[in-house]
Chains A and B, each alone.
Chain A
Amino acid sequence: MEVESSSSDEPRSIAVEKAIEVDIDPGNLLVSDSNEISRLQLNSNPAEYLKELTRSNTQLLINRIFTLPFHRVDDVIVAELPKPTYVLPRSKPAPKARPLSKWESYAKEKGIVKKKKSRLVWDEMVKKWVPRFGYRRAEAEHAKDWLIEVPQHADPYEDQFEKKSEEKSERVAKNELQRLRNLAKAKKVVVPAAKGLTSKVKQSKEELLTAAHTANKATASLGKFQPKVGKLKPLKGTGKKRQFEPLINNQEKAKNLSVLDKIMNKKPKIDVESVVSKSVGSGNLKRKGQGQDNYGDDEDGGQRRGGRRGKQMGTKNSKIKKGPAKKGSFKKGRASPRSGPKKKKN
């Protein structure tokens, strides 16, 4: 780029003419020129034209600077820039609001509003106005607990003072835990769950079980080398996720057929009803007490094979029961005429 020496030129006037007033922001040292750019000049002689423009605008800026209040600092004249008016856009995205904590979101949902509490509270026992929190509260409390009554059903050897201070420390710890949890949630930090281990007063069976499992696992090798502590029942809901066959399955037909075969094999193949009805039709079966002449009728001996008690075939209890005869169906010692002498199923 050629640098034109300004010394060769005559000093030009500081007056600048502009069609529209330029907007000067001295705080940022910014000049915004909204005059129209002449396309003609831009196309014909861009470098010159732009240089002219820049020069005139800079001149205006410098004119403005000289109008600002100044003061001397070590032989140097310094002009005080006012506050910038032009807002520069953010270079980084704006930070997001902090997410509501667990209590805050609950309160919002339920519509609970914080009520301002007064600092001083009238205390009957001490007959004084006692601060509810802050400076000198502990003092007031001490004044009260020079004596703690042992409640009726409590253990007489229990130290009530100890108990009180223990409760306080537990409350403090709980609050701290919740604060940290809220913080972790806001920062999206993954905190491993201590299932069941955070003590509650009464824990259910499942919670105790979970706590036992968690405690078992909470070693450096994740519970692999832990000695067995009695019978640790397995947890429900954990374990491997069920695997299903893929949607398009070539073996499906074969599988289905094999399942079908298994089912079909279970069912008795002989159709007892058909045989019975045939026999009934053919009139071979004699009525009760008329003799036992019905053995030869079956073509395949299926009647015998299937079971002793014809009545029980085809009912819901199709499984043939071994064992004693149906009670009360016939007199003891006397064989049922249909079945003849009892034959044990081989």
Chain B
Amino acid sequence: MGRKANWSEKPKSGPGRKARKQPAPSFPGMIGSGPGGGGGGISKHRKKKQFGGPGGKKRSSYPQNDGRKLKPGQPYRKSNESKKSSKPIDKKVTRNVRDASDSEEDEEEKQVMGSNSEGDEGMSDNEPTMETGSGSEDGSDDEAMQDDFSGSDGEAPDSGLEDGDQNGDGQKDEDKDDKLTKWHKLANINGSSDDADKIDFPEGQEPTFDVQVVVDRIKDVISTLLDFKTRREEGRSRSEYISLLTSDLCQYYGYNEYLMERIMQVFPLGELQDALDAADAPRPMTIRTNTLKCRRRELAQALIARGVNLDPVGKWSKVGLVVYSSQVPVGATPEYLAGHYMIQGAASFLPVMALGPQENERILDMCAAPGGKSTHIAALMKNTGTLLANEFNKDRAKALIGNFHRMGVKNSVICSYDGRKLPEVMKGFDRVLLDAPCSGSGVISKDSSTKTQRDAIDIQRTNTKQKELIMAAIDCLDATSQTGGYLVYSTCSILPEENEEVVALALRKRNVKLVPTGLDFGTPGFVNFQGKRFHPTMNLTRRFYPHSHNMDGFFVAKFKKFSNSNPVVKVDDEEEEEAEGSGEQE
């Protein structure tokens, strides 16, 4: 089969083939003597980007509200080569959408990849990427930069650009001179005589509409914050920098303030941009073989015969296949209709793998629609035991019926209760899966309205529901079950309020404990967050991010119930003393 899709590791790629074609240009009159000089904290390449050379990097203006920088379908971590090859696919679009900062991103990426190890799993260090990378890779920077304005020959056939336009922003090179003077002016405005990286704090409330300024400012602020002591501007507090960064990021990516603040709390500054970029790009399509009806190998052969380009998803799953491209609609092949596979995001495999359903068990899925996870559970149970699939919304429950019948699930009962009332209906389950309704902050690529619509009230409401649901789920479990007593709580969100906090509440109020999920990849959950301290076992939960694991943002926690009774709520110490005191008096 084709290239294997590697979920956890991505090979580093250095500068592309074309980057090495020409030597670095020298601009005797420009870089050295321009604003910023040779000193200062700002790197040479930074200045080049800002002030450029003749026909240097253009800052093309493009529609303001398009926060996307990447083409849809492009995985975030891409090597230069693949990017170059992807250009011919969609020339027109890329010219408009892609901007100069794209290649900036590339370079930054290179630096990131160069300086970081391949540890995508542990995004622990925030290495200040700008500085370390820049010094060593100036040469490569220059080479990469040359792509934009080099001579016509080597580039044109591959880059697919028109003649006279070498850096892909749709404008003829002759216009570059005009832009150049404009840049000089900008440069003058931006910096004073000595400090090149002085960030222009907008005094007024009007947002800047020049996206390039915003982009650059973002980078500057991040680099400043990463090395705050040395780079800070006098008289500006850290919070001012952070608020500026927040507003810039909101403007650039199209989020609302509340959500952006939350995201900034979750990710360290070094990863922040990676995470935001990856959140916008959609994840590759994956399908899950239905082991009740066929085997992965046979299915793969059948689909390849129909013209689908696919690969096994990796060694972490025996039933997953990732689809790169297809001549036929994947959701309408006869194999799909016969129930041989199900289209599911890769992240959706994880809660069921963590749950580990076994044959002849009683299992409950509290929020089952549209049925991907439930059918997976049934497949693992091999149609034995009992699977109770519950979905509150009656219309979505209908989708459940269709999927269950199609996939040949025979041991199921579908009901439509409010999950919080389920313990009154039936108890004593061996395993329970709760894929709670959430804000969807991990699956922004599927629904970009999440970026703007989620605010504090929304999240508060879903939060209350999640807490009630998890309590009900724990009540449905049977601690004395021989094979189980496990609950898996999962959400497609990265916000700790919906994840770690709910888990912490469950640990406090019920006799449950966290156990390892059984998933060997994934970031451990937060034990401390924003000053809040969670239970020390919180690191047994797992978080998944688009930029590190190439799947939707996800959270999985596995509990084991060790006692069917509920713990007594502890009385406060003061109350106890008072009670004692009054007793003595009498």
Task: Tally chain A residues at the interface, Cβ within 8 Å.
Answer: 2
Interface residues on B, range: under 10
User: Given the complex, which residues of B lie within 8 Å of A39, measured CB to CB?
Assistant: 585
Q: Looking across the interface, which residue of chain B has its beta carbon closest to that of A43?
A: B585
Within 8 A of B (CB), among A212-266: none
User: Given the complex, which residues of A lie within 8 Å of B586, measured CB to CB?
Assistant: 43
**B289: shortest Cβ distance to chain A, in Å?**
36
A-B contact count (CB 8 A): 3
Q: Looking across the interface, which residue of chain A has its beta carbon closest to that of B586?
A: A43
Q: Looking across the interface, which residue of chain A has its beta carbon closest to that of B585?
A: A43
Complex-state Cα separation, A29 to B585, whole angstroms:
35
Complex-state Cα separation, A59 to B348, whole angstroms:
81
Per-position binary interface string of chain A over residues 39-57, scored 1 when its CB falls under 8 Å from any chain B CB and 0 otherwise: 1000100000000000000
**A42: shortest Cβ distance to chain B, in Å?**
10
Within 8 A of B (CB), among A20-75: 39, 43
User: Given the complex, which residues of B lie within 8 Å of A43, measured CB to CB?
Assistant: 585-586
Complex-state Cα separation, A39 to B586, whole angstroms:
10
**B584: shortest Cβ distance to chain A, in Å?**
11
**A73: shortest Cβ distance to chain B, in Å?**
51
Task: Specify the main secondary structure of chain A where it touches its partner.
Answer: helix
**A242: shortest Cβ distance to chain B, in Å?**
26
Complex-state Cα separation, A43 to B585, whole angstroms:
9
Per-position binary interface string of chain B over residues 548-560, scored 1 when its CB falls under 8 Å from any chain A CB and 0 otherwise: 0000000000000
Within 8 A of A (CB), among B538-586: 585-586
Per-position binary interface string of chain B over residues 48-66, scored 1 when its CB falls under 8 Å from any chain A CB and 0 otherwise: 0000000000000000000
**A44: shortest Cβ distance to chain B, in Å?**
11
Complex-state Cα separation, A240 to B586, whole angstroms:
70
Complex-state Cα separation, A43 to B586, whole angstroms:
7
**A268: shortest Cβ distance to chain B, in Å?**
34
Per-position binary interface string of chain B over residues 81-107, scored 1 when its CB falls under 8 Å from any chain A CB and 0 otherwise: 000000000000000000000000000
Complex-state Cα separation, A23 to B443, whole angstroms:
67
**B530: shortest Cβ distance to chain A, in Å?**
46
Per-position binary interface string of chain A over residues 270-314, scored 1 when its CB falls under 8 Å from any chain B CB and 0 otherwise: 000000000000000000000000000000000000000000000
User: Given the complex, which residues of A lie within 8 Å of B585, measured CB to CB?
Assistant: 39, 43
Complex-state Cα separation, A100 to B585, whole angstroms:
60
Complex-state Cα separation, A39 to B585, whole angstroms:
10
Complex-state Cα separation, A39 to B584, whole angstroms:
13
Per-position binary interface string of chain A over residues 311-325, scored 1 when its CB falls under 8 Å from any chain B CB and 0 otherwise: 000000000000000
**B578: shortest Cβ distance to chain A, in Å?**
14
Complex-state Cα separation, A43 to B582, whole angstroms:
12
**B445: shortest Cβ distance to chain A, in Å?**
47
**A248: shortest Cβ distance to chain B, in Å?**
15
Q: Looking across the interface, which residue of chain B has its beta carbon closest to that of A39?
A: B585
**A341: shortest Cβ distance to chain B, in Å?**
55
Within 8 A of A (CB), among B199-236: none
Complex-state Cα separation, A186 to B314, whole angstroms:
73
Complex-state Cα separation, A341 to B586, whole angstroms:
120
**B413: shortest Cβ distance to chain A, in Å?**
14
**B581: shortest Cβ distance to chain A, in Å?**
12
**A297: shortest Cβ distance to chain B, in Å?**
44
Complex-state Cα separation, A72 to B128, whole angstroms:
102
Complex-state Cα separation, A158 to B433, whole angstroms:
84
Complex-state Cα separation, A145 to B239, whole angstroms:
97
**A178: shortest Cβ distance to chain B, in Å?**
42
Complex-state Cα separation, A321 to B520, whole angstroms:
75
**B583: shortest Cβ distance to chain A, in Å?**
13
Within 8 A of A (CB), among B436-476: none
Within 8 A of B (CB), among A115-169: none
Within 8 A of B (CB), among A58-117: none
**A40: shortest Cβ distance to chain B, in Å?**
10
Interface residues of B (CB under 8 A from A): 585-586
Report, nearest first, the 3 A-B pairs whose CB atoms are least far apart: A43-B585, A43-B586, A39-B585
**3 pairs of residues in contact across A and B, judged by CB atoms under 8 Å:** A39-B585, A43-B585, A43-B586
